[in-house]
Amino acid sequence: MITRRTALSGLLAAGAIAAPRIASAQGAITLPLPGRFGVETFSLANGLRGVVLPSARAPVVLHMVWYEVGGADEPEGQSGIAHFLEHLMFKGTPTVPPGEFSKIVARSGGRDNAFTSHDYTGYHQIVASDRLEMVMEMEADRMTNLVLTEKEVVPERDVVLEERRSRIENSPAALLDEAAREAMFGRRGYGIPVSGWPDEIRKLGVPEAIAFYRRFYAPNNAILIVAGDTSVETVRRLAEKHYGPIARRDVAPRTRSAQHGELPRLVVRRDQRVRQPQWGRDFLAPSYRMGETRHAFALQVAAQILGGSQISRLYRSLVVDKKIAVSANAGYSAGALGLSSFGFGATPAPQGDIAKVEAAVMEEVDRFLQGGVTEEEITRAKRRMLASVVYARDSLASGPHIFGQALTTGRTVADVIAWPERIAAVTAAEIEAAARAVLVPARAVTSHLLPAET
């Protein structure tokens, strides 16, 4: 067993952020000290990695297991199997009857749930700290002992189809988003909805679910994260006892295709249900792990400056000055194993014109590409981003989600701790270079949500 605790303390010390003072028109703006997540790590001989975020605020712990598998890892023709299996993980083992997992947690005054994305699948319980061992024992149990029967699987498949109707099919905006993702990434990986396509979901059964489970659910493909009223010693001891005996399993390394759809593309959804039009444009972009990864930090700052707040360039131009939109924003997330996208969205004002909105956004983008990002803009954007770390530390669930997402998309605890420093170090030249590399019209998907033609 290797423990990274000692090595990490050094990193933590190095992670202290200086607060550079930057002169601006309105006087000195100081970057806030975000502080650091108090985080400790360990790993077990079978490959399970542990992350512990102690906090004594309330006598409560959040226990999570993240698997390095998601919708983008599904076999061809089995879209939705990762998410379906997430549901089926509540259907019992030889020791915990179907449906009992959540009831046992509730009887202890706890709550539990699970989630699936393209890159990861997570299971979590929040319970009184004296129930940590109980939930850990059950989570370890279903890591290896899941039992599935037709009786349980068939109704749950209908549940998954109803979930898809609620989230996607009843929402024109969600249907458009699905089409735009497919246009961007093609009918593969991130271009396939995590919920799956209904025709393929209907063909999923016990054999597909069990095969997927055997392939990916293993201690060496999992990350244990515990936050709250506990210590790394306690968590490690309990993890040794409950997760330790589970055998390692060969899990093939995951791959993500660098291919994408045929770009540029315009995706239009005219839908009689639509009352409020919406415009969007997404540019194919690198992530921390794929593409021109050197731009990943600068792109985050660029998104803040362009459209991260009510004092961003887009909001001021489209919403305040031109009054042609009621919202205008930009967004970018670098946290993915494969490629990502840098997106713009705007809601036209009542009686507004979607073409004018598009032209105004692109005018701002062109202006941005020509340079002239000010130091003050950069500092304010960074301030807002670093403040989010302070507030994230105030919540029991934020830290575990940040670390879970990072560790299941190819990054490390040290990467997370270094994030504020890396953001603080981004320069104007880097922002402009990143924007020029990514905001290329030939690599965009434009989406229009419109009412039906009358």
CA end-to-end span of the chain, whole Å? Answer: 68
- Look at the block and give the residue holding tokens 């799956």: 196
Closest CA to 227 of 430, 450, 60: 60
Cβ neighbours around 14 below 10 Å, total: 11
Contact yes or no for 302/333 (Cβ under 8 A): no
Backbone angles phi, psi at 60, to 5 degrees: -135, 150
Which of 189/352 has CB closer to other proteins?
A: 352
Distant-in-sequence, close-in-space partners of 413: CB < 8 Å, separation ≥ 6: 4, 8, 39, 41, 51, 403, 406, 407
Alpha-carbon span 121 to 74, nearest angstrom: 12
Which of 56/359 has CB closer to other proteins?
A: 56
Which of 42/101 has CB closer to other proteins?
A: 101
Minimum Å distance from CB 135 to other proteins?
Answer: 10
Alpha-carbon span 99 to 95, nearest angstrom: 12
**Tokens matching residue 391:** 């507030």
Instruction: Tell me the H-state helices in 23-131.
Output: 81-88, 100-107
Alpha-carbon span 191 to 240, nearest angstrom: 39
Which of 35/245 has CB closer to other proteins?
A: 35
Minimum Å distance from CB 391 to other proteins?
Answer: 7
Which of 98/331 has CB closer to other proteins?
A: 98
Minimum Å distance from CB 418 to other proteins?
Answer: 20
- From the list 74, 86, 358, 432, the catalytic residue is 86
Minimum Å distance from CB 163 to other proteins?
Answer: 4
Which of 108/257 has CB closer to other proteins?
A: 108
Alpha-carbon span 150 to 143, nearest angstrom: 20
| Beta bridge pairs of residue 39 | none
DSSP 40-55: EEEE-TTS-EEEEEE-
Minimum Å distance from CB 436 to other proteins?
Answer: 27
163 is catalytic: no
Which amino acid is it at 71?
Answer: G
For the chain, what is the largest distance between any 2 Cα atoms, rounded to a whole number of angstroms? 68
Minimum Å distance from CB 260 to other proteins?
Answer: 30
Q: Which helix (H) or strand (E) holds 265?
A: strand 265-271
Alpha-carbon span 57 to 202, nearest angstrom: 46
User: H/E/C letters for each residue in 312-338?
Assistant: CHHHHHHHHHCCCEEEEEEEECCCCCC
Cis peptide preceding 264, ω within 30 of 0: yes
**Tokens matching residue 15:** 């992670």
Cβ neighbours around 193 below 10 Å, total: 21
Minimum Å distance from CB 108 to other proteins?
Answer: 6
Minimum Å distance from CB 273 to other proteins?
Answer: 5
Which of 47/54 has CB closer to other proteins?
A: 54
Which of 97/441 has CB closer to other proteins?
A: 97
Q: Which residues are catalytic?
A: 86
